Amino acid sequence: MKALIQRVSKASVTIDGKTVGKINTGLLVFLGVEKGDTREDATFLIKKITQLRVFPSERTSMDVSLQNAKGALLIVSQFTLCGSTKKGRRPDFSHAATPEKAQQLYDFFIEQCRMIVPNVQSGEFGAMMDVHLVNDGPVTFMIES
């Protein structure tokens, strides 16, 4: 399982011109699910993402976790994170989980995040989405289970 996280001052997801998820200060999480990923992988990523100290304190630019900063999460399914570009010119998605398995873990990920973070928003699994964000920093990290 892979998560590309970006610290944002605001972010939103729209589908067909309608906003389906919107946050202010927090993390935008692009989530990719690969074959063999489990709930344990999701739990590992959730803990890492919510406890990673990437928000500023009075002392330094990265000292406070999402939980302590009282930030929000916007979670977007992103199967292209599972694509390999090592060979050829066309991405290879053979490592991506099936849509059914990926959606199960995506839904589980969101459900578990909502037990930790008061404001969790999301896109729609499998939909064509427009993602708008203001990357704060910029701060971007790739986290893998």
Phi, psi of 101 (to 5 degrees): -65, -40
> Model pTM greater than 0.85?
yes
Q: Tokens standing for 51?
A: 């406890």
Query: For residue 75, which of 96, 105, 40, 36 has the smallest C-alpha distance?
Result: 105
140 catalytic residue (yes or no): no
Residue-number span of the structural domain to which 138 is assigned: 2-144
With bands split at pLDDT 50, 70 and 90, how would you rate the model's confidence at 45? very high
Q: Tell whether omega for the bond before 138 is within 30 degrees of 0, i.e. cis.
A: yes
CATH of the domain at 103: 3.50.80.10
What pLDDT is attached to residue 99? 96
Given a contact cutoff of 8 angstroms between Cβ atoms, the answer to whether 129 and 15 are in contact is yes
Residue 12 has pLDDT above 90, yes or no: yes
Per residue in 88-121, pLDDT (tens digit) is 999 999 999 999 999 999 999 999 999 999 999 9
Per residue in 49-78, pLDDT (tens digit) is 999 999 999 998 899 999 999 999 999 999
Given a contact cutoff of 8 angstroms between Cβ atoms, the answer to whether 139 and 54 are in contact is yes
Q: Which residue has the tokens 């389906």?
A: 20
Domain count, the chain: 1
**From 14, 43, 50, 80, the catalytic residue:** 80
